[in-house]
Amino acid sequence: MRLGRFSPDFVATVGGAATAQVQLNNPEEALKYAEIGLGIATKYATLWSTKAAACAMLDRMEAARAAVEVYNGLTARRTLTQWRAMPDDPDAILTQLPARLKEARRAQGLSLDAVAKLSGVSRSMVSQIERGESSPTVATLWNLTRALQVDFAGLLDTAPRGAAIEVMRRTETPLIENRGAGCTIRILSAPEAAGKYEVYEITLNPEGHLTSEAHRPGAREQLTVIEGEADVFSGDARQHLSTGDTARYAVDVPHKIAARRQPLRAFLIVIDA
């Protein structure tokens, strides 16, 4: 599959390829296509569903759970029809891709030979892509972005560098309402951050709670209470927090956030989730 005009139909095609790979029991290929599609359309819920399935097949359960949560939030707020109505400038995207790849390579201080060795893409092909003389396949672009340590979405960002401000209005923020008791979660971090670091606004009704199973080894959370009081549990440890307090604790053990007799509002950061 070669990169053409990045229209909703193109994203749907990538999503279809990802789904087909799941059905063929090729989770690594499915994840590859899902990540490419999410780089173009981070709010296309079907791709998050496919990513969750692929991660589960690869036994990456925390990443799968994170993808499911994003999917649940998006399906409550967005549809593919809404995404189709968003403005698109595919010609500008295609024009900037060679320059962005070259810029990323130079920013890493890498030669063409070094990129070729890291990505498995031949030196001549890398050079042709940077000069705009060759259109890379999805697989080739995937390998290049991994070698250059850049995300696909960043390469396709058409906003002027240093001047881009991404805004998600309150009405567009994904919500999760099926976790815990009396709990509402707003996802504040970017979708592509899922499974790396995640930022949430947590609202609990009086005596409500958010109870979670252990995350993968080394994972931690930071909770800051904005309004109300909370009890935080991490394994056998317990701490009481008042308004303005911050707790940092391990979450590779069962853990819980509980409100007392008044509503609780807090910001939660999950690191290496």
pTM exceeds 0.75, yes or no? no
Asked whether residue 265 is domain-assigned, the answer is yes
Domain check: are 125 and 181 in the same one?
Answer: no
Q: What is the pLDDT along the chain (273 residues), one digit of tens a residue?
A: 444 444 555 666 677 777 777 767 788 888 888 887 776 666 667 777 788 878 878 878 777 777 777 776 665 544 344 444 443 444 555 567 788 888 888 888 888 998 888 888 899 998 988 888 887 776 677 678 778 877 655 555 544 555 567 777 887 787 777 778 899 998 888 766 666 778 999 999 999 999 988 888 888 999 999 999 999 999 999 999 999 999 999 999 999 999 999 999 999 999 874
Domain assignment of residue 207, given as a range: 170-271
Q: What is the CATH number of the domain that holds 229?
A: 2.60.120.10
Asked whether residue 59 is domain-assigned, the answer is yes
| Number of neighbours of residue 61 by Cβ within 10 angstroms | 14
Asked whether residue 241 is domain-assigned, the answer is yes
Distances (CA, A) of 263 to 7, 180, 183, 231: 44, 14, 10, 13
Asked whether residue 163 is domain-assigned, the answer is no
Domain check: are 21 and 105 in the same one?
Answer: no
Torsion of CA 44, 84, 189, 150, to 10 degrees: 80
Domain check: are 75 and 131 in the same one?
Answer: no
Asked whether residue 67 is domain-assigned, the answer is yes
Q: Report the domain count for the chain.
A: 3
Q: Is the CB of residue 229 less than 8 Å from the CB of residue 242? A: yes
Domain check: are 265 and 174 in the same one?
Answer: yes
Tell me the sheet residues that pair with 225.
266
